Amino acid sequence: MSNTTKWVVGIIIILGVVLIAWQSGILGGPAMSPETATSTGSMTDNSTVTPQTVSALDVELTTGGAAIHALDQELSAAKIAVVTAQLTVIAREMAALANALTAHIANSPAADRPALQATLNDMGKNLSNATSLITAVADNSKTASAEELKQEKTQLQSALIYLQAARADIAAIIRG
């Protein structure tokens, strides 16, 4: 194993330990309450929605935004396909949260429910708009010309904006 590989592996291990320490509250991160102890904030467990869920979405949206920005340096159908796949995963994860958000709204005070439901409806519209843009890009990117790839990049940027708005809606519903 080369020295570079050893350094990379070491840094990844250190980052993992720091992330675990932060998530557990040792480093001032969001410590889990007893109510959320069964949910790690992982995007694979959509039975509860916690601030950690929103944090995970933030990381994924930041990664998606960086991937779109990287398209400025190398715009190709393959790169567009990778970004499209990333945004598709994010949109699906957000859509999967709808049941947990609906349950959260049902358990909230009656006076808050209409506003929270309106926010959930807005989230649905934002996800629908993002999904439409992502699907259009996915259907066309394999045979796109250079000019079409530029338009697809713009569509992906718009989809990211819709996903960020949906993320803001999720956070607003969690805050109540």
Could you tell me the pLDDT band of residue 25, with boundaries at 50, 70 and 90?
low
Could you tell me the pLDDT band of residue 118, with boundaries at 50, 70 and 90?
very high
Task: State pLDDT tens for residues 36-66.
Answer: 333 333 344 445 677 777 788 888 888 888 8
Q: Which pLDDT value is given to residue 176? A: 78
Is 0.75 surpassed by the pTM of this model? Answer: no
The class that CATH gives domain 43-175 is mainly alpha
Q: Which pLDDT value is given to residue 8? A: 67
- Look at residue 67 and tell me whether its pLDDT is greater than 80: yes
Could you tell me the pLDDT band of residue 27, with boundaries at 50, 70 and 90?
low
Q: What is the mean pLDDT of residues 155-160?
A: 94
Q: Which pLDDT value is given to residue 41? A: 37
- Return all residues near 165 (Cβ < 8 A) that are at least 6 apart: 122, 126
φ, ψ for residue 96, nearest 5 deg: -65, -20
Residue 119 one-letter amino acid: T
Nearest to 94 by CA among 53, 139, 66, 50: 53
> Where in the chain are the domains?
1-31, 43-175
